Amino acid sequence: MRNLLIILLSTVLFLQSTSKAAQAQEDNDPYLWLEEIEGEKALDWVESQNEATLAVLKAQPKFEETYEKVLEIFNSDERIAYPQIRGKYIYNFWKDEKYERGIWRRTTLAEYLKPSPQWEILLDIDKLCENEGEKWAYEGNNGFYPDYTRYIVYLSRGGSDAKVAREFDANSKEFVEDGFYLPEAKGWICWKDLDTVYVQTDFGEGSLTESGYPRIAKIWKRGTPLSAAKTIFKGEKTDVNVGWNVINTPERQYDVLCRRTAFYKSHNYVIEDGELLKIDIPDDAVFGTFFKNQMLIRLRSDWETDEQTYRQGSLISIDYGKYLQGYRQFSIIAEPDERSNVVRSSTTKNLLLVEMLTNVRTELYEYQFQNGNWQKEKLKAPGLGKFYVVSPDENSDQYFLNYEDFLTPTSLYYVSDEQERSKVKNLPAFFDSNDLEVKQLDAISKDGTRIPYWLVNSKEMKTDSSNPTLLGGYGGFETSSLPRYSSVIGKFWLERGGVYALANIRGGGEFGPKWHQSALKENRQRCFDGFIAVAEDLIKRKITSPKHLGILGGSNGGLLVGAVFTQRPELFNAVLCEAPLLDMKRYNKLLAGASWMAEYGNPDIPEEWGYLKKYSPYHNVLPDKKYPQVLFCTSTKDDRVHPGHARKMVAKMEDMGHKVYYYENTEGGHAIAVTNRQIALRVAHIFAYLWMQLK
């Protein structure tokens, strides 16, 4: 008996020591120095990697030809200048060969509708960079309603999420001296009136969440220092962020505050008579907007209230005045089924425009609220592609619509109060699509779930397993992967004989919240299984073979392809992994990573790390496995997904003896590029790599 106890005790001690050793190995990361974004040693490593990768890729056939042609496409005057209706003007931001970092400009509607409109330049970013000695990137604006003569203009250094906010006078075309100004931070400003704004920014120690976003919302008066802004609300450090949204309608202004307690949960408040009132809706519901004094809500889960159940995914509304009096009977605007989804809604003066997906095909509806009821009309789409609202006008019922699919050049339509929809802008055909066709196919995932995917190929394609094929996907954050017209994929892949596939895997929003939620946290492997199933289906149909199959994904899609190539390396011969998450042990400690724990899980909780470590690419790459020669791309200025993910993965794989490629742009933010030249260089890298690996 004594011997048995000794044996048992020894076994327990051995298991404990083994567990501690394994944990120590996980915690002991020899590549942490690569997380020092601007560290001298890290940047020297980046420079060395860039030189080695560029030497190989620039030597590939057609590299310079591709670069020059991509630059020509992105600088083309025939591109659509997308409109932003603000007051009596149409605004647009534009980049080309002359304006490398872009110009913010405006024109009248009548002028915009002409084939070659004349524009009034408001802000020249290249000139601003020259005058101020900064590498500014334009990051949008927020105009003062209703006349839009004053704007808050956002500028970032190198395309990062952290921005500088500066007040701009659209009449004088100058920044306002002593106007509203925020130093660089992940913050923003909302207009309450011309002399009062709501502000959220980095107010100093303790004012940010663990995700690096503001947790304090204030109100700020013109002529006073930022330090004098009055605090309205404080969130918790564990929140994602706290922020204002001012919604202006013809009926009234609504001042809304949102405290995001997690990525998919929030508490929403409105200000009434100077008091904050919490909106009584489920935490995971999406607070929409106000229209005709109706408060719009989209549900991420079933909701039972007042003895009625509103189904998951539904768009519902209620009279705001009655709501404040305690009434809780909602009207159902749209109720999707198992294969459809409400994507988003927008408003004109009298129209609620609702975009839906049915079997990954866009449908668009006009709703009017008349006599207490919603009346809808379905708009006829030009085809089976992506059909969506671009810029609705809050002061009339005019708006613009955009249509695109894999083979049809993008078109912009104008809808006005008085006339029928008319096409006003159109991309030229940047590639020859006459010999191409599009199909929607299905693959069966490991658990039997049907996974749809799009396939674009030559009508003369032979099913002999020899076709270079590129498979893309995302599968996260309820974001849908939809057909779109890509001039570069068309010109440099399809036109040269490549096949393109796009997977609609779980985790995305193609079939609503349920499709997304089925792959959260401990169920993340379902994303990867679905993507693998599509890859295997392409091989089974003899469209391609592992020798000729490549995959690509960025951000969460970078995690997708990272997990898939470490799990099934024998399926692929090329992996393009851009701005990726890869180290799932430390992702929540890097930049905005903590905000995504509702999607992936918390690696600091042992039970959750238990499932994260099963697929974390950084922890599952092995020295004795054969992997495709992956191309990792990121940006030094990406302050959303830390460049350390890609850096560390490359260093680890190389030390294990695996050949990989790495390129890091020194600016560009999460998009990895700011100027058209940077975009052209990135695209040339991509196609040089893909053809090198898959031809």
89-94 β-sheet, strand order:
84-86, 89-94, 103-107, 120-124
Which one of 267, 548, 642, 670 is the catalytic residue?
A: 670
Q: How far apart are CA 400 and CA 410, in angstroms?
A: 13
Q: Is the pLDDT reported for residue 193 higher than 50?
A: yes
**Does one domain contain both 543 and 663?**
yes
> Residues 329-336: what's their mean pLDDT?
96
pLDDT at 25: 45
> Residues 451-467: what's their mean pLDDT?
98
Task: Give me the CATH number covering residue 627.
Answer: 3.40.50.1820
Select from 409, 427, 445 the last residue of a domain: 427
pLDDT digits (tens, 9 = 90+) for 109-138: 999 999 999 999 999 999 999 999 999 999
Q: Is the pLDDT reported for residue 22 higher than 80?
A: no
Please state, for a pLDDT cut of 90, what percent of the chain lies above it: 93
pLDDT at 418: 72
Total residue count of the chain as it appears in this document: 695
The CB-side HSE value for 86 (13 A sphere, CA atoms) comes to: 19
Q: Indicate the pLDDT class of residue 23, thresholds 50, 70 and 90.
A: very low
571-574-576 Cα angle (round to 5):
120
Strand partners, 272: 275
Tokens of 274: 């100077």
**Does one domain contain both 548 and 597?**
yes
pLDDT digits (tens, 9 = 90+) for 553-586: 999 999 999 999 999 999 999 999 999 999 999 9
- Which phi and psi (to 5°) does residue 564 adopt? -70, -40
Amino acid making up residue 149: T
> Residues 509-535: what's their mean pLDDT?
98
> Residues 414-436: what's their mean pLDDT?
92
Select from 386, 401, 427 the last residue of a domain: 427
pLDDT at 667: 86
> Residues 285-294: what's their mean pLDDT?
96
pLDDT at 20: 39
pLDDT at 75: 96
**Does one domain contain both 358 and 464?**
no
Q: In this structure, is residue 224 part of a structural domain? A: no
> Residues 635-660: what's their mean pLDDT?
97
**Could you tell me if 92 and 86 are in contact, meaning their C-beta atoms sit under 8 angstroms apart?**
no
422-426 β-sheet, strand order:
386-389, 399-404, 411-415, 422-426
> Residues 81-90: what's their mean pLDDT?
97
Annotated catalytic residue 670: yes
Q: Is 130 helix (H, G, I), strand (E, B) or coil?
A: helix
pLDDT at 18: 36
Annotated catalytic residue 545: no
- By residue range, what is the domain housing residue 347? 336-427
Which one of 156, 160, 555, 616 is the catalytic residue?
A: 555
pLDDT digits (tens, 9 = 90+) for 218-228: 999 999 999 99
Strand partners, 165: 154, 182
Q: How far apart are CA 632 and CA 98, in angstroms?
A: 31
Q: In this structure, is residue 518 part of a structural domain? A: yes
**Does one domain contain both 535 and 631?**
yes
pLDDT digits (tens, 9 = 90+) for 398-410: 999 999 999 999 9
Q: Is 285 helix (H, G, I), strand (E, B) or coil?
A: coil
**Does one domain contain both 466 and 615?**
yes
**Does one domain contain both 572 and 597?**
yes
**Does one domain contain both 593 and 478?**
yes
> Residues 200-215: what's their mean pLDDT?
97
Please state, for a pLDDT cut of 70, what percent of the chain lies above it: 96
Tokens 């048992």 belong to residue: 8
Q: Is the pLDDT reported for residue 613 higher than 70?
A: yes
Residues 6+ apart with CB under 8 A from 606: none
pLDDT at 27: 63
Q: How far apart are CA 649 and CA 586, in angstroms?
A: 13
**Does one domain contain both 598 and 457?**
yes
How many distinct structural domains can be found in the chain?
2
**Does one domain contain both 497 and 641?**
yes
Q: Is the pLDDT reported for residue 246 higher than 60?
A: yes
**Does one domain contain both 392 and 532?**
no
pTM for this entry: 0.94
pLDDT at 17: 38
Q: In this structure, is residue 151 part of a structural domain? A: no
**Does one domain contain both 522 and 563?**
yes
Q: How far apart are CA 687 and CA 695, in angstroms?
A: 11
Q: In this structure, is residue 600 part of a structural domain? A: yes
pLDDT at 126: 98
Q: Is the pLDDT reported for residue 3 higher than 80?
A: no
**Does one domain contain both 343 and 361?**
yes
> Residues 85-90: what's their mean pLDDT?
96
> Residues 189-213: what's their mean pLDDT?
97
Q: Indicate the pLDDT class of residue 307, thresholds 50, 70 and 90.
A: confident
SS3 string, 361-411, reads: EEEEEEEEEECCEEEEEEECCCCCCEEEECCCCCCCCCEEEEEECCCCCCE
340-347 β-sheet, strand order:
340-347, 352-358, 361-370, 373-379
